[in-house]
């Protein structure tokens, strides 16, 4: 819009100066009012936008509060679950403790049982050996021409390593004019593994102590059909309890 002065000059070209003055003033005031109305309308638009934004913000706030409330409920449930888990863990710990105590008691009972079985096994073994002490002199003389000198006995012997080992049956004798040492062991049930253990744990460890060893095994029964042949092939005399 042109300024009031320029507007007046243009109006004076068609109107006399007084009319031009009045017209310029009227046009200028009308334009000013028009600008104010435009500004007001613009302000109304801004206010409307602000109101809508505030409404959206309020709705977002409401949704946020609802979500926070949901999270709070979820937190409560989590706390309850954690509480239940704590109780479960305590119950498991107590059950574990009871199990450990019961296992400890069971181990103790098992140890006692093993000791009792060990004692029973020793008693059975000693019984077999006692019978062997009486019967072996006659059996060895009959089967191998071996003459026992003195008595067969049970005793501790120091082996080649200088360590004491228990020998179930030991005694001196003569076979074909040669001095031999009888080394024997009793097994309630004899297996090939038992034969090998006898050789490894007794015969091998005493070979350096005695010039010639005559090995003997006595048993109630064998656990495999070929044990007797296996022992014979190892050079071991084998007798059963019913031979006594």
Question: Residue 130: is its pLDDT beyond 70?
Answer: yes
pLDDT of residue 119: 43
Indicate the number of domains in the chain.
1
Q: What mean pLDDT do residues 165-177 have?
A: 94
Yes or no: say if 206 and 157 are a contact pair by the CB < 8 Å rule.
Answer: yes
Residue of 169, 177, 164, 173 whose CA lies nearest to 209: 164
CB neighbours of residue 139 within 10 Å: 17
Does residue 66 fall inside a structural domain? no
Give me the domain span that covers residue 142: 126-243
**Counting Cβ atoms within 10 Å, is residue 85 exposed (0-12), middle (13-18) or buried (19+)?**
exposed
pLDDT: which is higher, 23 or 127: 127
Give the H or E element holding residue 216.
strand 213-222
The pLDDT value recorded for residue 116 is 45
Mean pLDDT of the 104-118 span: 60
Give yes or no for residue 104 having a pLDDT over 50.
Answer: yes
Structure tokens of 34?
Answer: 């028009």
Name the more confident of 89 and 243: 243
Q: Looking at the domain assignment, is residue 14 inside a domain?
A: no
> Looking at the DSSP assignment, which residues form a beta bridge with residue 186?
218
In a domain, 181, yes or no: yes
Give the tokens for residue 73.
Answer: 């409920």
Is residue 46 a part of any domain in this protein?
Answer: no
pLDDT of 13-70, one tens digit each? 777 777 777 777 777 777 766 656 666 566 567 657 756 767 887 788 888 888 888 8
Phi, psi of 11 (to 5 degrees): -65, -30
Give a yes or no: residue 224 inside a domain.
yes
Q: Is residue 216 part of a domain?
A: yes
Residue 49's pLDDT is 73
Mean pLDDT of the chain: 83
Q: How confident is the model at residue 121 (pLDDT cuts 50, 70, 90)?
A: low
At 170, which CATH number? 3.40.1350.10
Q: How far apart are CA 73 and CA 69, in angstroms?
A: 6
Among residues 168, 165, 176, 139, the alpha carbon closest in space to that of 152 is found at 168
Paired with 218 in beta bridges are 186, 239
Q: Out of 12-16, 59-63, 114-118, 186-190, which region has the weakest mean confidence (pLDDT)?
A: 114-118
**Domain assignment present for 32:** no
Query: Could you tell me if residue 204 is inside a domain?
Result: yes
Model confidence pLDDT, tens digit, residues 77-89: 888 888 888 888 8
Q: Quick: pLDDT tens for 191-218.
A: 999 999 999 999 999 998 998 999 999 9
Query: DSSP readout, 40-74?
Result: HHHHHHHHHHHHHHHHHHHHHHHHHHHHHHHHHHH
- The CA distance from 238 to 244, in Å, is 12
- Report which of 176, 186, 184 is spatially closest to residue 147, judged by C-alpha positions: 176
């Amino acid at each position: 819009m042109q300024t009031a002065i320029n507007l007046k000059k243009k109006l004076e070209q068609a109107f006399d100066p007084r009319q031009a003055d009045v017209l310029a003033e009227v046009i200028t005031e009308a334009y000013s009012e028009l600008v104010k109305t435009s500004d007001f309308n613009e302000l109304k638009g801004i206010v409307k936008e602000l109101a809508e934004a505030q409404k959206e913000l309020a709705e977002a706030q409401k949704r946020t509060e609802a979500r926070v409330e949901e999270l709070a409920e979820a937190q409560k449930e989590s706390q309850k679950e954690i509480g239940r888990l704590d109780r479960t863990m305590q119950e498991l710990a107590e059950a574990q403790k009871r199990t450990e105590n019961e296992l400890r008691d069971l181990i103790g009972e098992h140890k006692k049982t093993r000791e009792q079985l060990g004692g029973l096994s020793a008693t059975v073994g000693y019984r077999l050996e006692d019978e062997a002490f009486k019967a072996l002199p006659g059996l060895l003389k009959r089967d191998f021409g071996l003459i026992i000198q003195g008595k067969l006995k049970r005793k501790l012997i120091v082996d080649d390593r200088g360590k004491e080992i228990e020998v179930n049956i030991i005694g001196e004798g003569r076979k074909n004019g040669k001095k031999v040492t009888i080394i024997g062991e009793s097994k309630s049930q004899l297996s090939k593994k038992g034969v090998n253990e006898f050789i490894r744990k007794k015969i091998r460890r005493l070979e350096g102590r005695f010039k010639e060893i005559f090995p003997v095994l006595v048993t109630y029964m064998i656990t495999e059909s070929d044990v007797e042949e296996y022992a014979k092939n190892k050079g071991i005399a084998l007798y059963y309890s019913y031979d006594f």
